[in-house]
Amino acid sequence: MLLLLSFLVVVVRVLSGGENDYLDELLGRVRELESLTKTLEKEIVMHNQGKANDKIRRHLQGVDELSLYEEARQWNSWTAYQRRKMKNGQDRRLDELTNNFEEFCSSLDTAWLIIVSLICFLLQAGFGLLETGQVRSKNAKSVLLKNTFDACAGGLAYYCSGWALSRGGIKENERAPKPEFAGDEEWMLLPDAQVESYELFFFQLVFATTVSTIVSGAVCERIQFSAYIIFTIFFVGIVYSLASHWTWSRKGYLYQAAIVDFAGGGTVHVLAGAASLVGAAIVGPREDFEPPITEQNDRRNKSSILEDRTKGHDATLSAVGIFLIWFALIPFNAGSALSVCGEEAGRLTSRVAVITLLCGCSGGSVSLIIGRFREGYISLEYGQLGVLAGLVSVASCCAVVEPWCAVWIISPLAVFLFWSIDKVQKKFGIDDPLRASSVHWGAGAISILAVGFFASPKYMSQVYLNGYDGGNNKCSPLQGLTIRLDDDFKANQADTARAL
């Protein structure tokens, strides 16, 4: 607009040719107007900026410290909520992983017990072959018949009454229950019995049938089939079940007396050996049995110790039977930990397996040397029975002794005691064709006493630390004649041991 006015003024001046003073004045006013317009534009810009600043200033003046604190608190609360949300998600994920791991461990232990039980069931085949090879050929079929049906009758007896009598449930938060004579739970695995552990029932049933099989070797060739089946039902269904309850149930007398019997040195082997001794004494010697001539140095008379006691017809069957027994007794002892999940459980199981294997080697070697000096020649029978005595010698103590102690002390002691007992029984005219009584109750007694004499405080704490009586560690006076009576060494039974 200003430019247009200026242009008009110039045109007028040119056309008129006069009035110069008037035109100069008009031009000056136009310039003033242009300057005033620019100044006005600047003031408008500054005014608008000032209003904006005043608006911001007024807004800030209206916000007090309490409002600012409330806004900050709301922000912190939202941040904390987000953190809690993330933490809860992580906790739920961690709980899921923990539950999955526990389920995996439970499934792994279940599978382990079932596999161990299946292998231990081969003891029936091992004892059957050993007994068949050690008797005369005319009685081989009878021996196999008894071994087959003592598993059948013993299994049914344990199912009907043995499992219930051996059980001893502990109520929640009941840390020091009163001892009881027998259990009273889960009769015949009925629907209302609420069975919690079928795999443990399987494992214990294999133990129960093994007990009756041991006795069959001491009375073979002299007992009727019907009488033996009746004995098996009574022995497995009542006697062994009560013994296992006293030893492995937390309400058992021996359990609360702090008796440590990890894999049945007393409950299985001593009990079966004592029953074998009584059975052999009751049925008497075989018709052609004649005690050897004593007080003579003739080598032939010395060898009659075996010739009169073990009239076996097949050494091959006996040897195969021993190897099966050796193979099955390793998981028999190692599986008594009931678990392989976790570093400590795996180490315990492997240590027990190694000790059991080595004690069989040690027992067989020592017995072979004894046979060489007694008989004058290397005897297969001496070696086989030494292996069996060595395996039995660590049944109770295999979890709590050092390997070197088991190999060089416990197993040789068991072999010497076994042959000493056998010699005493021979003098009394007790005919035990397989020497089942002297092997099992002699070597089994050594395994129980070895806990008191040779148990390691470190292993005792690892295996039996979480007992119901609070974790005092001291061996029972019945074990090792109180050779370890320190106040900090009391063998309390743990839930990880084979507690029923």
- 190 confidence band (pLDDT: 50, 70, 90): confident
Residue type, 167: R
pLDDT at position 324 over 90:
yes
Helices (H), 191-294: 198-218, 225-234, 241-248, 253-256, 271-283
Tokens (6 digits) for 241: 């079940």
Task: Please write the tens of the pLDDT for every residue from 409-420.
Answer: 999 999 999 999
Tokens (6 digits) for 500: 């029923």
Of 85-99, 143-157, 314-328, 408-422, give the lowest mean pLDDT range.
85-99
Q: Label residue 362 exposed, middle or buried (CB < 10 Å: 0-12, 13-18, 19+).
A: buried
- 217 confidence band (pLDDT: 50, 70, 90): confident
Query: Which residue, 255, 238, 109, is CA-closest to 168?
Result: 255
pLDDT at position 95 over 80:
no
Of 86-95, 118-127, 144-153, 282-291, give the lowest mean pLDDT range.
86-95
Q: What is the pLDDT of residue 50?
A: 55
DSSP three-state, residue 292: coil
Task: Please write the tens of the pLDDT for every residue from 19-51.
Answer: 455 556 656 665 666 666 666 666 555 655 555
Q: What is the pLDDT of residue 375?
A: 84
Please state the three-class secondary structure of 27-45 as a single string.
Answer: HHHHHHHHHHHHHHHHHHH
Residue type, 347: R
Task: Please write the tens of the pLDDT for every residue from 340-357.
Answer: 887 788 889 999 999 999
Q: Name which residue leads in pLDDT, 485 or 193.
A: 193
Task: Please write the tens of the pLDDT for every residue from 454-484.
Answer: 998 888 888 876 432 333 333 433 343 333 3
DSSP string, 46-69: HHHHHHHHHHHHHHHHT--HHHHH
Cβ pair 414, 446 in contact under 8 A: yes
| Alpha-carbon dihedral 338, 344, 350, 353, rounded to 10 degrees | -50
DSSP string, 376-444: SS--HHHHHHHHHHHHHTTTTTTTTS-HHHIIIIIHHHHHHHHHHHHHHHHHTT---TT-HHIIIIIHH
Q: Name which residue leads in pLDDT, 438 or 75.
A: 438
Q: Name which residue leads in pLDDT, 323 or 309.
A: 323
Residues 324-345: what's their mean pLDDT? 88
Residue 28, CA distances (Å) to 23, 24, 38 in order: 9, 6, 16
Helices (H), 238-376: 241-248, 253-256, 271-283, 299-309, 315-334, 343-375
Strand partners, 490: 474
| Alpha-carbon dihedral 10, 16, 22, 24, rounded to 10 degrees | 30
- 57 confidence band (pLDDT: 50, 70, 90): low
Angle between helices 198-218 and 271-283 (to 10 degrees): 30
Residues 425-435: what's their mean pLDDT? 86
pLDDT at position 492 over 50:
no
The CA distance from 166 to 187, in Å, is 10
Tokens (6 digits) for 139: 């009685």
Global pTM value: 0.71
Residue type, 56: I
Q: What is the pLDDT of residue 344?
A: 82
Residue 398, CA distances (Å) to 60, 105, 124, 151, 466 in order: 82, 24, 23, 27, 19
DSSP three-state, residue 474: strand
Cβ-proximal residues to 271 (8 Å cutoff; 6+ apart), any chain: 211, 239, 240, 243
Query: Which residue, 338, 390, 339, is CA-closest to 361?
Result: 390
Query: Which residue, 361, 435, 433, is CA-closest to 393?
Result: 361
Residues 144-167: what's their mean pLDDT? 89
